[in-house]
Structure 1
Amino acid sequence: MAILNFIQENLRTQFGDFIFPIITYMGSAGIVWILFALYKFFIIKDKKEAISMIISLLLVLIICLLIIKPSIARPRPFMENTQVRLLIKPPQDFSFPSGHTASSFAVVTVMYIFKDKLRHIAMILAALISYSRLYLYVHYPSDVFFGLIFGVVFGFLAVLIHYFFSNRFKLVDKQKSKRL
């Protein structure tokens, strides 16, 4: 709570109050990351990276948002400190882990594995989205930290899952074509 209060008391600015709600909404429901994946799939035609991005987001959705959040059921910081004026609509789900952070770093990890040209820009955006969750007083630092850890792990897992299944189906297709 000390870090959140320090941000509120010392780092809040008029510009931050304007920009961080916008940045946090970019990360809501993984919208910006889904757009990255669609861009890679349809425009750049890098289907391997795009599918890995989508798998990483699905892992975040299922494991972090549908299993861990409700299981741990950690209240959000603004519920503990009701004196803070929120700049966004209060989120209705639980706090741990940060889904914004997990989805951001899941996709960024995939981008780094594939050496994507936009990976450094995406990393900056992921960091800003993560920080926005603290600035806006909707997550504890540990929520963001573990969101980052989950995101990195799910990014790696997504690439492994995609690699495993794409190679498995290639092998099946080769065996079928040999029989014909």
Structure 2
Amino acid sequence: MSLIQNIDNFILLYISNNMHGHILDRAMVIITSLGDKGLIWIIISGLLIIKKKYRKIGLMALTALVLSTILGEGLLKHLVQRVRPSADIPAANLLIPKPLSYSFPSGHCTSSFAVTGILSKYFKNYALEFFSLSSLIAFSRLYLYVHYPTDVLAGIILGLICSKMIIYAFKTSQSLWKQRR
């Protein structure tokens, strides 16, 4: 485990020592705020739900967001109880308020990739944009020193698993519904 922790620390220190600057500091605070409480994903899901043509996709995205929150924030964070980098390395200068929850997995990444997995399946022409936004949010969590790289990676994987589970569940329930009619 110490090898993984050493790699995590190396990556965070590299970002801290080589990428920080006034403009990027401000940009990362804005980018990370898009993922706060899944707000950007709730807005996108809500807009899709309003339009009848996209309602099912919006509901799937919202369901993936809820599932990812339950599994990541509600379950895994409390099982693993990993402290954040800012707690391990007190000299870190945080640009955002210190998060109060545990670090593993990254909730921003989990929710972002859960919804991105749904949206990119049904809006293939915009998949690059969805994955780019989610990746920027993920990077911002490292840049801002509130997650380790393995927290972010675990969040990405969990989010994509949640999106696959929701797609499967919706397809299965739709098939069952058609069989009963």
- Report the TM-score, using the length of structure 2 for normalisation: 0.90
Offset at residue 13 of structure 1 (A): 1.1
Out of 37, 41, 45, the position equivalent to 2:49 is 41
Any stretches of 5+ residues in structure 2 without a counterpart?
Answer: 1-8
Comparing 133-142 with 150-159, greater Cα deviation is found at 150-159
Out of 4, 10, 29, the position equivalent to 1:2 is 10
**Whole-Å separation in 2 of the counterparts to 1:99 and 1:166:** 29
Alignment correspondent of 2:4: none
* RMSD of equivalent CA atoms: 1.4
> CA separation of 1:40/1:118 partners in 2, compared to 1, >3 Å: closer, same or farther?
farther
Counterpart check, 1:142 vs 2:150: yes
**AA at the equivalent of 2:86:** F
Offset at residue 149 of structure 1 (A): 0.5
Out of 95, 101, 124, the position equivalent to 1:87 is 95
Out of 140, 149, 170, the position equivalent to 1:162 is 170
**Whole-Å separation in 1 of the counterparts to 2:52 and 2:34:** 22
Q: How does 1:59-138 map to 2 (within 5 A)?
A: 59-138=67-146
**Whole-Å separation in 1 of the counterparts to 2:49 and 2:178:** 20
Offset at residue 11 of structure 1 (A): 0.5
Helix, strand or coil at the partner of 1:138:
coil
**Whole-Å separation in 2 of the counterparts to 1:16 and 1:81:** 21
Q: Deviations over 1:28-56 (max 9, x none)?
A: 11110111111212147312211111111
**Whole-Å separation in 2 of the counterparts to 1:82 and 1:119:** 38
**Whole-Å separation in 2 of the counterparts to 1:155 and 1:23:** 22
Q: Percent identity?
A: 32
**Whole-Å separation in 2 of the counterparts to 1:100 and 1:41:** 22
**Whole-Å separation in 2 of the counterparts to 1:21 and 1:127:** 14
Out of 50, 58, 67, the position equivalent to 2:58 is 50
Alignment correspondent of 2:6: none
8 A Cα contact 1:51 1:162, kept in partner: no
**AA at the equivalent of 2:82:** R
Counting matched residue pairs gives 173
Q: Highest Rg: 1 or 2?
A: 1
Any stretches of 5+ residues in structure 1 without a counterpart?
Answer: 175-180
**Whole-Å separation in 2 of the counterparts to 1:27 and 1:99:** 9
**Whole-Å separation in 1 of the counterparts to 2:145 and 2:158:** 21
